[in-house]
Structure 1
């Protein structure tokens, strides 16, 4: 399925599709979500930095721009609509494709996550627990939860979550941020939590904390406590949170007791393995000179706030996700399987943490996977991959028997090449940019 650019947007800004991304523009796929009906949604960004343009440039053909886009697909991949949202009010951008005050973010890179809630509403989420609710037909933003630009000091603070995923029964698995993680003064993801009530435009559910990355974030005050994030019935904060923390658990599991080995670690997006079991990625500090060989782990956490294991069978150097920063993980709750794709392999585990498969990407049969990012696993049991340069989505059925994974992936990659050739004849893309003039464009 192509990731489209609306022709009206391309024409309005006179985008040079032949121009290299290194020259100051780009298209990035952030996330994919699937509705219970089988419809797909893709969240992505397009931006341009224009050399020589001043802050008061009004000609859209010359001015810099940035947009968040959400595209809706029918179950068979047919494009149904695209919503376009302008970036922040701090950028002097024309509002033809969405006003900044009703857009999806504080800056170009704000919206990172997408989830279809049980009632069909879309939730677009991002750093500092900003959450926007969007109608299923992409025509309107119905609610926003977030923190004002002034942060913790001024304004009305109404955050919800940085990431959201749904369980088979319709509960919401979320991550939320806290101040003082690793002594930083801004809000960083630190808590994994679950809800028992729905998130709607009219109501925000309570989150029950299941795990904490850092045990005691510094700089906490009573003013930082959130009445909607609870552990044992009380707001999470200071030293009140699930223990051991994920870092404490990993230090003990490695039999080193050295928590400083995980200094600067980050919390990844959790995935739902089954209704009562989740997998939480934890990644060590990244370095400018390269981080291959740095610590990482995928921790299994249950809905009773217990760390019950971790995914095994990965070598910190040979299988490092830090090459290319491939930190995504997906879970097939229909078969209780867990998947991870990085530049070295496609990995698959059972719900107990046993590594059942590793497809080596040095193998020519699977080497094309090095160009893909793992973005989702559908409720029907399909892995969804996004090609980083060809801007296409590939769906791969998850086998019930993981011994069949290699054959299934090989067949899917063959089909990808054939279907891509068909799409090229139909769409006539320019430099792998797919321009659509048929689906409705909604300005948020």
Structure 2
């Protein structure tokens, strides 16, 4: 548990935020916006750094898989560490490692022809940082605001980060076309430095945690919490495949389809920005809409994730791809809100980071394999056929998870809304990151 946050609202760039948004919350939102702005463009830049150096679809997949593989290796350790020491410190250190890895990645690209192993190793360093950052970040929003404002705080936080995704993807694609991917990676490195500094300025007090029998025992306790809930492990298993398919589409197939049919990095950045715009629209929707069956509603929102894969398979014109990305962005935000509320409603706070680590681990475990096999699958079966297969898997697994009774029945907990104007009607359990690893650092 944390101490009650101050209700003082700081003056500054975000001083127009609601009265419940204190200085810590403003710093948190600012840090996430800055790092998200750079990171969205850098995701595209990494793919085009490989492509511009003559890399194949398999090479693009290997570099993308290196980051996720590092996350898989270190996530459980990251979750145990974040339940032992102040999470804010873990996050600042992770931002520092990301700044270093992205800076070196930019340097190798700008100074010559980087080797594939160099790009993969530096991407893996960023994945290691993410493995410690992600479990630590769970619940941080709720250390900065009163729990009665959880729903509104989460919505504002997501709107800021998703807004950064829109601007970062569009700006990143344009900059890659204008000056090359190296400079976009350099900007991302600077963004992590600034974000880490802002997070270091936060005054977050965390209660001392009781000593346990060691990391292994901690992880066993987290595992028991995880497997005791069918809705939790069922959706995580679902997303282990869904994330692998959608990430392969965006990280490997998307840039190649854009190169062959849409005009390159600029149009692809616009398509990704449309997905970000959809998440903003979804966030605005979820600020007003309070579905009772939070997981049922959220899971129904996963079906549209297949639409961009279908659009890429058909090599539809840019406007059609943009519409499918927009729709998928709205849909995943509907899922994200329901997932966050369910986790914070059902999982004990002192086990949150460990359960989060299992959530993230399960959600991304298959991604390295999916990314690494995307190129070989396209060579063996054809890029179009591989995209169709990915879309079918997304739909089939989402339908399958609806068989679980708890997914269909879990309801939003009864809460007492606060009487203030900003959040009237929006008091609810504190939210957590969704299984979909979308949020930037």
Structure of greater relative contact order (alpha carbons < 8 Å, 6+ residues apart): 2
Task: Flag whether TM exceeds 0.5 (same fold).
Answer: no
Calculate the TM-score normalised by the size of structure 1.
0.28
Q: Relative to total residues, which structure has the larger strand share, 1 or 2? A: 1
**Higher normalized helix content (fraction of residues):** 2
Largest Rg, 1 or 2: 1
